[in-house]
Amino acid sequence: MVRIAMRGAGGTQRALAAVVLFIPLTSDRGWQVLTYRNIPPHVAQFREEGLRINVTRSASPIIYPLPTSVRVRRLRVRGRIEGVLSVDAGVQGQRGFDDYALRLGLVEEGSRRLGVLERRFAPEWVRRLFSLARSGSGISQVRFFNLGVASEQIGQARSHPLSALLHEQVVAVPSADGRFDFSVSFEAPIPTVAVWISADGDDTKSVYVITLQAIELESTEAAE
C-alpha cells in the first residue's frame, strides 16, 4: 500500500502540510506489469532494495494506479542503473533510437474519454491508460520525466511523435556510477491517478538493469 507522511509548516495562519506518498517498490501488490505486442517484456522484481527491472532488448509498461487522485506538486525519484543504454545523446528519442533508461510518468486526470469506436480500434496500451481514470472522469495525458545520457539534454521537452497523449521532458542524467536522485517541482499541481514506469531497450538492443529505490509524490493541503 502507499505510505503517507506529513511535513508540517508552522505559523499563526492555518498551516500548509506537505503530504508525501511513498510509492511501494518492495512488493508487487497493486502494480500492473504489462506487455506490448511483438516486443519482448522485461523481468520486473520487487526486492528489499526496490523495484529491479531487467532490460534485455525489451520494453514493458509498469503501472501503479493510485487509490485516489493526488494533486502532485513535487516528484522525487532515486535509483541506480547497472549496464549501459546503447544510444548517443544526439539521436536519443528519434525513430530507431527511442529508448530511455527511465521515463517516470504521472498519469494526469482530465476530461478526455475514449468513444466507442476509439475504444474498439485503439492500441491496448491506450485502452489501459484510459481505464485508469476514475468513474465520471477521464485522462488528459501522461507526463514523463526522463533520464537522458548527457547533461546537455536536460530541459529538452516534446510531445511524443507517436501520440499526443504522451509528453516528456529530460530532467536528469545518471552519475558516473549509474546513480540518480532527482526531483521536479510544479507551479500548478498535476492531478495524478497513476504512476507509469517505462524503461526501454528494444530499439537500441540494449541490456541493462535499473533499480528504483524511491518514488515520492508530494502534495500540499491546508492543515488544521
- Domain CATH number, residue 46: 2.60.120
The amino acid at residue 70 is: V
Mean pLDDT by 10 residues, the chain (224 residues): 54 63 95 89 95 96 93 97 95 96 95 75 76 83 96 96 91 96 96 95 97 94 47
- Asked if the structure places residue 79 within a domain, the reply is yes
The strand pair at 138-147 and 166-172 is best described as parallel
**Whole-angstrom distance, CA of residue 21 vs CA of residue 6:** 9
pLDDT at 16 (0 to 100): 61
- Asked if the structure places residue 208 within a domain, the reply is yes
- Asked if the structure places residue 153 within a domain, the reply is yes
pTM metric for this prediction: 0.88
- Asked if the structure places residue 14 within a domain, the reply is no
Sign of CA dihedral 157, 65, 20, 209: negative
Tell me the C-alpha to C-alpha distance, in Å, between residue 189 and each of 71, 100, 178, 220.
5, 25, 30, 9
Count of the separate structural domains present in the chain: 1
**Whole-angstrom distance, CA of residue 63 vs CA of residue 106:** 10
Cell numbers for 103, please give them: 521515463
Domain that holds residue 179: 23-217
pLDDT at 38 (0 to 100): 87
- Asked if the structure places residue 151 within a domain, the reply is yes
- Asked if the structure places residue 192 within a domain, the reply is yes
- Asked if the structure places residue 206 within a domain, the reply is yes
- Asked if the structure places residue 7 within a domain, the reply is no
Tell me the C-alpha to C-alpha distance, in Å, between residue 211 and each of 37, 81, 154, 215.
25, 6, 21, 11
